[in-house]
Amino acid sequence: MTETFAFSGGVHPPELKKTAGCSTIELPWPNKVVLPVSQHIGAPAKPLVAVNDKVTCGQKIAEATGMVSAPVHASISGRIAGVGNFLHPFGSPALAIVIEQTPEAEKPAFRVKNDGLLMPVDELKKRIQDAGLVGMGGATFPTHVKVSPPPTKPIDTVILNGVECEPALTSDHRLMLEQPDKVLIGLKLLMKVLGAKNGYIGIEENKPDAIALFTEKCRHESHIRVAPLHVCYPQGGEKQLIYAVLQREVPSRGLPMDVGVVVQNVATAAAIYDAIYMEKPVVDRIVTLAGNAVAKPGNYLVPMGMLIGDFVQAAGGFKPDRPPKKIIMGGPMMGHALFNLQVPVVKGTSGLLCWDEEEAGEAPEPQVCIRCGRCVEGCPMRLMPSRIKGCVDFNRLEEAERFGIGDCIECGCCGYVCPARLPLVQTFKLGKRRIADVNKRKAAADKAKQGSKA
């Protein structure tokens, strides 16, 4: 009997993985792409191009502006049509670069040019950084930073996250089935860069074909193992995945490197292979398109910066008799509803859910907390969500910090099980922003005070 791994807490929403059997379809280049210079956690990239410049697919068009930053590359060949503020998926205008395809534009041929496993570690890190790699599972933390822990934090294990626990999303599943060698070599590259002796590929049990495929692929790999995981959301969270696979608990406010682990998404591992072996930067990614409102649900290879409206249209469009009521970028638990179809696909876009009226339902009216404790039972971080919400509601921010608001991973489990339908995650996000503002003002005051003494 195969051993399975699990963590405490979590919930079991409907899986909705109707596109799991849909092979990836490559979309043609659109006439236009909009590439925000901030598609990652950290400082925005700085544009390197001007209007009317000609660019080719894969060319760097914005450079990183610090250690925690990532460059942006042209995802199509053509002409720079604009550099300015355009709609960003997160809700407000932001600096972006617009490329229009020109008649003579040609797709470059990205082919294997190198054997990355023979390269020195410094060269591997440089290629990862130059390719604009970020966490492709949605977190979008620059990958070169994650693979450069301080010497005081040695890494012994790399875990690839092939869990894809969000309902409806299947892009990682298809990637694992269609490009397993890229994923496996990407894991080996990560282990080499980090000096890690052990590697795991975590896959939930609802993907038995992927588990079987990688079990066979790893049969002769003495230091790499497949970890079949119990189906539970948010099994793919870093801290939950580490505990499930290794029984190591990341400390409060800590990071995976504090317990000798680095976690990367399988799509990031495949992109690392592309960057090192093929010298291909992040110019496209697999995106799940799902929901009753679209004519052809499936998995699509989409150029970065392709507008959502163009993406849906190229994939068959909306059903005329089932118009979308809600469109979500990402999964239904941690994704965000879009306000406009003229926003682009970015590096962290793993899915697009187009729900009709039946799927979307009605927004519930929040009621009064009945102290049932379901949020506490469901919280994978073992927090007390109802207590933290009360602290934020009455602006008791220091108390909210004592109850662990900083450890909340905003997975939405508490809100999912809450019978009162309280906006718990939204409240925690607000509380974190308030705490950050207070800390920022305090730091500024302390700096001014020190300056006056000098």
**Helix, strand, coil share of the chain (percent; to 5):** 30, 20, 45
Query: Quick one: 120 and 263 in the same domain?
Result: yes
Confidence (pLDDT) at 1 = 37
For residue 266, the domain's CATH number is 3.40.50.11540
Domain assignment present for 368:
no
One-letter identity of residue 107: K
Q: What is the pTM of this model?
A: 0.94
At which of 244, 277, 310 does a domain end?
277
Nearest by Cα to 304 from 132, 82, 452, 125: 132
Query: Quick one: 158 and 269 in the same domain?
Result: yes
**SS3 label, residue 306:** strand
Domain assignment present for 230:
yes
Query: Quick one: 120 and 267 in the same domain?
Result: yes
Query: Quick one: 120 and 241 in the same domain?
Result: yes
**What is the domain extent for residue 385?**
374-453
Domain assignment present for 56:
no
Both tokens assigned to 222 = 């003495």
Query: Quick one: 260 and 139 in the same domain?
Result: yes
Q: Are 1 and 375 in contact (CB under 8 A)?
A: no
Give me Rg for the CA atoms of the chain.
Answer: 22
Confidence (pLDDT) at 105 = 86
pLDDT tens digits, one per residue of 62-118: 999 999 999 999 999 999 999 999 999 988 899 999 999 998 888 898 999 999 999
Domain assignment present for 32:
no
Domain assignment present for 369:
no
Domain assignment present for 69:
no
d(CA 99, CA 81): 5
Q: What is the number of domains present in the chain?
A: 2
At which of 221, 245, 277 does a domain end?
277
Q: In sequence order, what DSSP letters do the residues of 343-371 get, joined into one string?
A: -B--TT--EEEEE-HHHH-PPPPP-----
Confidence (pLDDT) at 451 = 76
Residue 125 gets the label, from left (phi > 0), alpha (psi -120 to 50) or beta, of alpha
Query: Quick one: 131 and 240 in the same domain?
Result: yes
Query: Quick one: 126 and 273 in the same domain?
Result: yes
Domain assignment present for 367:
no
Domain assignment present for 257:
yes
At which of 230, 255, 277 does a domain end?
277
Average pLDDT per consecutive 10 residues, the chain (454 residues; last block may be shorter): 68 96 97 97 96 97 96 98 94 94 89 94 97 93 96 97 97 98 98 98 97 97 96 95 95 95 98 97 98 98 98 97 96 93 96 96 89 95 96 96 96 96 95 95 86 70
Contacts for 15 with CB less than 8 Å, ≥ 6 apart:
167, 168, 206, 231
